[in-house]
Amino acid sequence: MNNHYLNRRQFMLLTGASMCAVYGHANTHKTSSLLVTNNDIAITLQWLQQMRDPQSGLLYYMDKGVAHFLSPLATAKTAIWAAKVGQPVLLQQCAKALVTAQQQLAKQHSQLAGALASSYQSTPKGLEAGQYVYACEQLVAIYAWLQAYEYFKEESFLKAAIESAKFLKKFFLNGYALGTWQQPYPIPFNYLTVSGAFENTMRNGLEYLWISAFKELYKYTNDAVWHQIYEDALAFYLVSQADNGLWFDAFLPNKKQWVWYQNSNVVADNMLRCAIAASLNKQTQQVDLFLNQLQIQHQDCLIKGYLSTVDGADGFIAGDRPYYDIVATGLLRNLYDLQGNKILAAQCQAKLKSLQDSSAGFFWGSYAQDFSPVSQEKAVITTLWASANLFNTI
């Protein structure tokens, strides 16, 4: 196995740390292209409802296996998906479940009021929060609550988003005052635990893509502090691209520089998230450099799960069994759509359709040799990215 990074990914899973003809589909707010047919949406919706815990309303990260835990991240992205494909009932269910999860963590650990734990479990006594709190997951939850607030105008959703943003500002963006950094930085560090432990490095990918949650919050509150946080963080992420077109995936505050988390490879889907964030922020040259490199090394809209930090080629080490990452293909489709390349976007959509499980949902990876699933667990987030653009394109 690709030991170091897969161990980290497995750790993230344990702690909580995506067809038919392509066409537009009206949603609760905007028209977004590259969504699947109404029939496929109905099938996915039914599967997502099966992934919801009836007691808490939260969704499981995967349908079984090591990552079968209740996940606010999966729930928040499901809420965003529901907003995009016109499913207000599911949107409201998920937003309310996130509010309950936020309140539960505050009951268990008052010092973490406003935050969401990365994982929860249902117990005979009710919902119980896990040990880890990740910055990126707070950003996605803020975005989800604001989508729900835009549709329902329910003040509890806006309040939850504001409380989460205040927590990010007080802790994750305040590393210097808390003693985790030697100087201030405008982007959040990775995670902390309920016992007060933390990892003070900053990550790239999810954070870069979803830092726009602060911009959205400013739109609904008119509080300039949120817009300033967004602008400062964005400027920091915009200089995180390496000369070869990939993006550095970690910032080390003690060394004051962007680096590779692993020297030899990076996770492919995080590179696509960075590319989408760059595209949304009009960084045309950066995106072109990345796509030129990607298209040389990968064909047929299929992206290996790990990319070489040298040239973006297959980044699996000798002895590993390479696999294609389904989220990466979904993100590539979305990136082509942003670029206005409908032909390549449609090709990616067709490839996704061929990789979908016959019953519903998507396995998170397919082996390169025979396209068999890497494991038999189907993932909520993989399924969501495979069937919609989750970010605003306007």
The angle, 0 to 180 degrees and rounded to 10, between the axes of the packed helices 135-152 and 72-84 is 40
- Residue 64's pLDDT is what? 86
Quickly state the pLDDT bin for 38 (edges 50, 70, 90).
confident
In DSSP terms, which residues pair with 31 in a beta bridge? 26
Q: Classify the phi-psi angles of 175: left when phi > 0, otherwise alpha if psi is within -120 to 50, otherwise beta.
A: alpha
Q: Which alpha helices (DSSP H) does the chain contain, by range?
A: 3-15, 38-50, 72-84, 88-108, 135-152, 155-167, 175-178, 206-210, 212-221, 224-237, 268-280, 284-297, 326-338, 342-355, 380-387
**Per-residue pLDDT tens over the stretch 324-378:** 999 999 999 999 999 999 999 999 999 999 998 888 999 989 999 999 999 888 9
**Per-residue pLDDT tens over the stretch 108-136:** 999 999 999 999 999 998 999 999 999 99
pLDDT over 70 at 79, yes or no: yes
Please give the full DSSP string across 179-215, using - where no structure is assigned. TSSSS--SS--SEEETTS-EE--EE-SHHHHHTHHHH
Structure tokens at 29: 């707010």
**Per-residue pLDDT tens over the stretch 246-303:** 999 999 999 999 999 998 999 999 999 999 999 999 999 999 999 999 988 898 899 9
| Choices 1.50.10.10, 1.10.10.10, 3.40.50.300, 3.30.420.40: CATH for 3-17+19-387 | 1.50.10.10
pLDDT over 60 at 44, yes or no: yes
- Residue 20's pLDDT is what? 28
Q: How far apart are CA 151 and CA 88, in angstroms?
A: 8
Angle of CA points 142, 303, 316, to nearest 5°: 105
State which amino acid sits at residue 185: Y
Report pTM.
Answer: 0.90
Phi then psi for residue 62, to 5 deg, are -135, 165
**Per-residue pLDDT tens over the stretch 144-198:** 999 999 999 999 999 999 999 999 999 999 999 999 999 999 999 999 999 999 9
